[in-house]
Amino acid sequence: MRLLACAVVVCAVGALSASNAAAGQPEGLLTFEAAPGAFPVDGRGGSWGDVAVWEYQRVVKVDAATDNGADWIRIELNGRAGEALTAGTYLNVRNHETHPDGPGIQIVSNGLGCSDDYATVTIDRIERDDDQVTALDATVDQHCGSPDGPVFHAQVHYAG
């Protein structure tokens, strides 16, 4: 049920992001490459401009979509132990649902997610205004199931 709710939210956010870009508002880009077997993105790659970035309960959420929301990816990132995400490199990043004390990550693609994430995340820039993310430059290298599993590599650039 939770993943279905994510799909509805991502589609709605994707539609909002597309209309904002047409109006000259936020701009974003998600560039990614997933090796074969890199769950949940698995062998796909692309460069998508339909990107929204937002934060809820100190979890930064990057929603990106293509094909009018039919194909989507969400990247969720958080700092250590509930702290706000800040610039820097985070090593040994694990799934934030099952390892809440460390820095966290969750990758969801088209309703599928990994519950055993291993990642390195670099935040080059994050800016906020009134508790809203207004800029984000980040790089993610995520493996599902083991630290040596196939890699999902992503770069996010957002200015809202």
Angle at 15 between CA 30 and CA 140, to 5 degrees: 20
Give the residue-averaged pLDDT of 89-97.
94
Domain count within the chain:
1
Tens-digit pLDDT profile for residues 11-47: 444 444 444 445 556 799 999 999 999 999 999 999 9
Does 9 score more than 80 pLDDT?
A: no
Q: Tell me: the pLDDT tens digits for 121-153?
A: 999 999 999 889 999 999 999 999 999 999 999
Both tokens of 46, joined, read 């692309």
* Tokens at 33, concatenated: 């490459």
pLDDT band at 160 (very low <50, low <70, confident <90, very high): confident
Q: Which domain holds residue 146?
A: 2-159
> Among all chains, which residue has been given the structure tokens 């880009």?
29
Q: Does residue 113 contact residue 106 with C-beta atoms inside 8 Å?
A: yes
- Angle at the Cα of 41 (from 60 to 151), degrees rounded to 5? 85
Helix (H), strand (E), coil (C) string for the chain: CHHHHHHHHHHHHHHHHHHHHHCCCCEEEEEEEECCCCCCCCCCEEEECEEEEEEECCEEEEEEEEHHHCEEEEEEEECHHHCCCCCEEEEEEEECCCCCCCCEEEEEECCEECCCEEEEEEEEEEEEECCEEEEEEEEEEEEECCCCCCEEEEEEEEEC
CB of 14 within 8 A of CB of 126?
A: no
* 102-123 tens-digit pLDDT: 999 999 999 999 999 999 999 9
Asked if the model's pLDDT at residue 7 lies above 70, the reply is no
* Burial class (CB within 10 angstroms; exposed 0-12, middle 13-18, buried 19+) of 50: buried
The overall average pLDDT reported for the chain is 87
Report percent pLDDT > 70 for the chain. Answer: 84
Percentage of residues of the chain with pLDDT beyond 90: 76
